[in-house]
Structure 1
Amino acid sequence: MAAPRPPPARLSGVMVPAPIQDLEALRALTALFKEQRNRETAPRTIFQRVLDILKKSSHAVELACRDPSQVEHLASSLQLITECFRCLRNACIECSVNQNSIRNLDTIGVAVDLILLFRELRVEQESLLTAFRCGLQFLGNIASRNEDSQSIVWVHAFPELFLSCLNHPDKKIVAYSSMILFTSLNSERMKELEENLNIAIDVIEAHQKQPESEWPFLIITDHFLKSPELVKAMYAKMSNQERVTLLDLIIARLVGDEPLTKDDIPVFLSHAELIAGTFVDQCKMVLKLTSEQHTDDEEALATIRLLDVLCEMTANTDLLSYLQVFPGLLERVIDLLRLIHVAGNDTANIFSSSGCIKAEGDISNMAEGFKSHLIRLIGNLCYKNKDNQDKMKTLRTGEVK
């Protein structure tokens, strides 16, 4: 005769299976934690049981990492791992008591180690991806609005987890790892990013590939753009395509519905120094576009976007006064306008009236847009600034049409 089943435990008056030792029991517990009253009365012992299952199931993943032939035998273990993560994820929703209990069991370290093993497997089984995603969701939830958990997540996850996940081919994994990064970042940890620029650049690339995903966008706008030191270091290391993406986001911040605050101005003055200095040094790269073999030159296109940023920056009074006296800026812009005018008259290229290359946005012709923006920038730099007005009269050798 079979031994009698142990009586079910009670959680806030709701019957739950005990002990938690199989998939069905985990699923029942996951469902219970969808309700706030059940989360708030959960005993710590339940989380220890879930952690025990997670650890036991992770051994199969460790074995598969050592012996790839074992991957095909992971199904049952991945189901248990997935449900453990779902259960813990739900338990952490708006419940700091559970966040703290689960954290104090060192569950975060176990979860991060397991997620890194998932990446090491390098297989795209849907069951593995589901467990991977749920593990990241758990880390995001345990860190949400909980500084102690954020600190522990950062200790375990930085930098390996972000380096492993931000460039993952699965969009959800990229989004969830971005959520964890956004949640965990603060001013002190931003300094660590300056020493791990590949992570910051991976975020730019993630936004470039998934512009609809909110987490990479928020990391850049709410964290990166508030750190001029990081932006400067990133810009030096990024590809020109990545630079264009970053510059587009700076433009979006400048022209957005919310104006720059007093706290934003010193930061954007630093950005203005980087943008203006880079433009002064590199603006003649645009002349590459006069050659047929360079009509899609990425370096020249990045320079065009620098000009777009300068136009928007000089529309801001606080930034304008700084840029009006920036060494060499007005002179270089006037000189470039003259060179482009001459190039357009001398040969058939995109700066001539027959140019036909299309650009993004409302500008139908890239070259016409560039020339009009040069003129706009000159006008802004001379606005209510007699020194620049006089300088312009001196620099002009003839009317540029």
Structure 2
Amino acid sequence: MAAPLEHMTAGCAELERWMREDLAGAEPRGCDAVRRVTELFRGAECREAADEKIFTLVSQILSRALQEIRTQIVASESPSDCWCDLSAECFRCLRNACVQCPPNQNIIREVGLIEKATALIDVFTASNSAQESCIVAFRCGLQFLGNVAGGNRASQNSIWKEAFPHLFLNCLTHEDDKVSAYGAMVFYTCMDEDKTATLLDPTNLHLALGVITAYSKRPDAEWLHLIVTDRFFKCPELVKQMYASQSHADRMILLELILSKISEKSPLSEREMTSLRHIAEFLSDCFQKQCKAVLKLASPGDSEEEEALVVIRLLDLLCEMTSDADHLSCLQSCPGLLDTVVDTLRLTQLAGKQSKNVFTSTHTASLGSDLTHAAVGFKAHLIRLIANLCYRNRENQEKIYQLDGIPLILDNCSIDDNNPFLNQWAVYAIRNLTENNEKNQELIASMERQGLADTSLLENMGLRVEERDGKLLLKSVKKK
């Protein structure tokens, strides 16, 4: 049985003969010689036996293909199938050669194949051709770049130099799903902390925004998801710039991706946790600036108001983040957040009483499903956020007292079809507000004595008022 080195030597000799005899004309006659080398590179031993010569030959073939395809496109012709097929086979050959073989990755880079591959891919994007042979070559070229970059920082840097930012953006936004996916894979593989920071440059921000646009069209695209959650989210400043430059629709997508990140079960690194805390503080600031937009939903004509939907999603995110001990403390101390949440609850409560709208408490769901898509549960989530922000936090407990927030919460404890679990979140809020806080306990007790707090409501919360030594106390009742 012939040794791998002998196989590679024979393959190299056949490739040379083919180049002299079959590549000399106007069009190549097949590509069987390249295909046989591609098959050889499937074996690890043959990959290890390869030397620079065979990659130099492949480089020469790609140079010829690039020249011919470029000439055809300049002449407003479609790239011929034979040259596209040959390019695709060369890319398959190089793709196989790189598998778990850093020496081949290095040789390929050193003989200039990364530059030739990116130049040819650039030609494919410029041609905007939908012909099958062109698209297949495009895909194979991106697969090769992904393999040559895998675990090889020098190759990643070389690809980045050639492809950033225009080629990456063209691939991400390409109509072909596989081209977009493979382009995202190469982009993700080549990115590191320093490269992510280059997106902060206003001239490069469009690439980051392009990732979100591409994801909006392909929400199941794993590599696009990873680019945002594993790369962009490690740079809070980039997230801030993206949010500021986006449409409301794209902001919704970005917020959904943040929600998916904080919902992950896998443990996060300290770096990721720190970045997400900065992002949480930024989201708090966004909510405070935009929260009043939700009141537009009180008018039926504005039921699809996009900014209001963003506010609702921001509230959902803040609720989730304050349910996590890793993010809770930073949000509990965010300036103005608790004041804004209480003020928003008061305004939505008032809007619901002034006219019949989505903020009006209802037991029949008579407002219909056309409004519930936007604001269902909004008031319940406001109370949930208040509850979370006051959890074992004396300063925030006192602030709610000063803002006259306790009567407001008690006023939102009835069953409301537009706000599922409203009563349960109110119970949780009262518990957190009264825990080790006699002042808040006394306030609720005095409200019950004055008839301002419903006794049955307190009982449903598992509370009752007792008088002891001339003082009113709020006591927990053990349910039988």
TM-score (structure 1 length as normaliser): 0.91
Name the CA distance, whole Å, in 2 between partners of 1:344 and 1:259: 42
Give the structure 1 partner of residue 158 of structure 2.
Answer: 152
Aligned partner letter, 2:112: D
Give the structure 2 partner of residue 18 of structure 1.
Answer: 15
Structure 2, gaps ≥5 residues long: 20-29, 413-480
How far residue 10 of structure 1 moved from its aligned partner, in angstroms, is: 8.0
Aligned partner letter, 1:212: D
Contact 1:350 1:357 in 2 (8 A): no
Give CA-to-partner distance per residue, 1:313-339, whole Å, 9 cap, x none: 111224222222212111111111111
Aligned partner letter, 1:33: F
Instruction: For 1:2-401, list aligned pairs within 5 A.
Output: 11-14=4-7, 15-16=10-11, 17-19=14-16, 20-21=18-19, 23-68=31-76, 70-71=77-78, 74-195=80-201, 196-352=204-360, 353=362, 354-357=366-369, 366-396=374-404, 398-399=407-408, 400-401=411-412
Identity of aligned residues (%): 43
Name the CA distance, whole Å, in 2 between partners of 1:78 and 1:260: 44
Give the structure 2 partner of residue 4 of structure 1.
Answer: none
Contact 1:91 1:98 in 2 (8 A): yes
Aligned partner letter, 2:216: Q
Residue aligned with 1:263, SS: helix
Contact 1:204 1:242 in 2 (8 A): yes
Cα separation, partners in 2 of 1:67 and 1:349, compared to 1, 3 Å: farther
Aligned partner letter, 1:194: L
Q: Highest relative contact order (Cα 8 Å, sep 6+), 1 or 2? A: 1
How far residue 237 of structure 1 moved from its aligned partner, in angstroms, is: 0.8
Name which of structure 1's ranges 345-354 and 51-60 shifts more when overlaid on structure 2: 345-354
Aligned partner letter, 2:368: C
How far residue 264 of structure 1 moved from its aligned partner, in angstroms, is: 2.8
Aligned partner letter, 2:115: G
Give CA-to-partner distance per residue, 1:239-289, whole Å, 9 cap, x none: 222211121121122222124443333212211121000100111111111
Give the structure 2 partner of residue 6 of structure 1.
Answer: none
Name the CA distance, whole Å, in 2 between partners of 1:228 and 1:271: 6
Contact 2:312 2:375 in 1 (8 A): no
How far residue 200 of structure 1 moved from its aligned partner, in angstroms, is: 1.1
How far residue 172 of structure 1 moved from its aligned partner, in angstroms, is: 0.8
Name the CA distance, whole Å, in 1 between partners of 2:401 and 2:370: 33
Contact 1:226 1:264 in 2 (8 A): yes
Contact 2:139 2:178 in 1 (8 A): yes
Cα separation, partners in 2 of 1:288 and 1:259, compared to 1, 3 Å: farther
Residue aligned with 1:18, SS: helix
For these two proteins, the number of residue pairs brought into alignment is 387
Residue aligned with 2:279, SS: helix
Contact 2:309 2:374 in 1 (8 A): no
How far residue 31 of structure 1 moved from its aligned partner, in angstroms, is: 1.4
Give CA-to-partner distance per residue, 1:75-101, whole Å, 9 cap, x none: 111111111111111111111111111
Contact 2:342 2:386 in 1 (8 A): yes
Name the CA distance, whole Å, in 2 between partners of 1:318 and 1:80: 54
Give the structure 2 partner of residue 3 of structure 1.
Answer: none
Contact 1:313 1:319 in 2 (8 A): yes
Residue aligned with 1:12, SS: helix
Contact 1:78 1:127 in 2 (8 A): yes
How far residue 218 of structure 1 moved from its aligned partner, in angstroms, is: 1.2
Larger Rg: 2
Name the CA distance, whole Å, in 2 between partners of 1:259 and 1:85: 38
Name the CA distance, whole Å, in 2 between partners of 1:379 and 1:395: 14
Contact 1:166 1:199 in 2 (8 A): no
Name the CA distance, whole Å, in 2 between partners of 1:232 and 1:377: 23
Aligned partner letter, 2:42: K
Name which of structure 1's ranges 212-221 and 274-283 shifts more when overlaid on structure 2: 212-221
Contact 2:197 2:235 in 1 (8 A): no
Aligned partner letter, 1:348: K
Give CA-to-partner distance per residue, 1:153-195, whole Å, 9 cap, x none: 1111111211211111111111111111111111111111112
Name the CA distance, whole Å, in 2 between partners of 1:191 and 1:99: 26
Name the CA distance, whole Å, in 2 between partners of 1:375 and 1:259: 29
Contact 2:303 2:374 in 1 (8 A): no
Residue aligned with 2:377, SS: helix
Name the CA distance, whole Å, in 2 between partners of 1:227 and 1:245: 18
Give the structure 1 partner of residue 424 of structure 2.
Answer: none
Aligned partner letter, 1:339: L
TM-score (structure 2 length as normaliser): 0.77
Give CA-to-partner distance per residue, 1:303-362, whole Å, 9 cap, x none: 111111111111122422222221211111111111112222222332233333479xxx
Contact 2:284 2:318 in 1 (8 A): yes
Residue aligned with 1:223, SS: helix
